């Protein structure tokens, strides 16, 4: 009985961590878009939006990483399931937490800037037109983008996100120093944002896109948030899930699968290793003495 209670308590903690981490991500990210749009670009620009989302991801992982791993993204959670790093029964729990966190984060941005929204839109909340504000919360495609192009965009972008995250947390690769991993993940998103954001604004995260989109549907924008651009909404949901799996499988097959075992015997004789270590020690001593003399 105590064991079951401990499991339930552990899962609940992970749920709360994913919820709060995703909330932070959306509050910083969508908040930066809102400030840019509602100020008519006087208090923001594309770069500030990129920094907002990157900072949101970084701080969201700092908030939740020690408890749940800081996925904040169903595509990342699915990738961890595929690699055996997350139990499959936890997957829907993580997704629900991420969706709820994104929904509440969008609500917080709307509440924070409610007066500015009303002033900007004259009370008419729309997805298209000169005073459109739906894109503050969810992604919409550029005019040039086809459905296939958008799907490929999300597969490639999310694949790169997951692949690079796996490299950062791989203890048998170079990795990142302990405690610096969230910063490195923020830099990944910053790199993607400045190189792959033209087509549809790099959603890369079904929860970050669908959660706020559901909020806008309920808060006054209506079902237009789903029907716009030939029902675009499913692309940033399905594409990232495929991309996350592709990125995870690619990293596993090309990198992780080829890590040498710690139990493998070295090819050199022990005596040769000792000689090499002595030479390295002496060279280090020489360098140390040169520094002192200077």
CA dist., res. 121 & res. 127, Å (int) = 11
CA dist., res. 88 & res. 60, Å (int) = 23
Closest CA to 232 of 126, 161, 154: 154
Angle between helices 46-68 and 2-38 (to 10 degrees): 170
pLDDT tens digits, one per residue of 193-204: 999 999 999 999
- For the segment 140-158, the average pLDDT, to the nearest whole number, is 97
Angle at 167 between CA 267 and CA 253, to 5 degrees: 70
Q: What is the pLDDT of residue 4?
A: 65
pLDDT surpasses 60 at 290: no
> How many H helices and E strands in the chain?
11, 0
On whether the CB atoms of residues 136 and 223 are closer than 8 A, the answer is no
pLDDT surpasses 60 at 99: yes
267 band by pLDDT with thresholds 50, 70 and 90: very low
Distances (CA, A) of 276 to 62, 256, 273: 41, 29, 5
Q: What is the pLDDT of residue 174?
A: 94
On whether the CB atoms of residues 36 and 44 are closer than 8 A, the answer is yes
Q: Higher pLDDT residue, 243 or 1?
A: 243
% the chain with pLDDT above 70: 86
Binning the chain into helix, strand and coil, the percentages to the nearest 5 are 75, 0, 25
pLDDT surpasses 80 at 273: no
On whether the CB atoms of residues 17 and 71 are closer than 8 A, the answer is no
Q: What is the pLDDT of residue 289?
A: 42
CA dist., res. 209 & res. 233, Å (int) = 8
Per the prediction, the chain carries an average pLDDT of: 90
272 band by pLDDT with thresholds 50, 70 and 90: very low
Q: Higher pLDDT residue, 294 or 215?
A: 215
If phi over 0 gives left and psi between -120 and 50 gives alpha, with beta otherwise, what is residue 179? left
The alpha-carbon radius of gyration of the chain (Å, integer) is 23
On whether the CB atoms of residues 99 and 211 are closer than 8 A, the answer is yes
């Amino acid at each position: 009985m105590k064991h079951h209670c401990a499991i339930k308590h552990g899962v609940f903690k992970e749920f709360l961590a994913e919820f709060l981490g995703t909330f932070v991500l959306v509050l910083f990210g969508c908040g930066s878009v809102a400030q840019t749009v509602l100020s008519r670009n006087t208090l923001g620009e594309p770069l500030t939006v990129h920094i907002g989302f990157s900072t949101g991801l970084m701080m969201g992982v700092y908030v939740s990483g020690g408890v749940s791993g800081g996925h904040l993204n169903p595509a990342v959670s699915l990738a961890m399931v595929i690699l055996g790093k997350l139990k499959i029964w936890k997957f829907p729990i993580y997704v629900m937490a991420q969706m709820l966190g994104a929904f509440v984060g969008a609500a917080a941005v709307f509440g924070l800037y409610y007066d500015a929204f009303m002033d900007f839109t004259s009370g008419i909340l729309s997805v298209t037109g000169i005073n459109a504000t739906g894109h503050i919360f969810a992604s919409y495609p550029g005019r040039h983008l086809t459905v296939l192009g958008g799907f490929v965009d999300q597969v490639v972008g999310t694949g790169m996100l997951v692949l690079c995250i796996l490299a950062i947390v791989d203890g048998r690769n170079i990795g990142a120093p302990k405690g610096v991993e969230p910063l490195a993940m923020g830099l990944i998103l910053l790199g993607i944002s400045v190189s792959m954001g033209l087509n549809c604004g790099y959603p890369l995260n079904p929860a970050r896109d669908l959660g706020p989109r559901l909020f806008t549907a309920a808060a006054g924008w209506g079902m237009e948030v789903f029907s716009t651009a030939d029902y675009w909404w499913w692309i940033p949901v399905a594409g990232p899930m495929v991309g996350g799996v592709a990125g995870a499988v690619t990293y596993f097959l090309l990198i992780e699968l080829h890590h040498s075992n710690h139990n493998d015997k070295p090819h050199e004789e022990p005596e040769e290793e000792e000689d090499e270590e002595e030479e390295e020690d002496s060279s280090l001593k020489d360098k140390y003495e040169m520094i002192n003399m200077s």
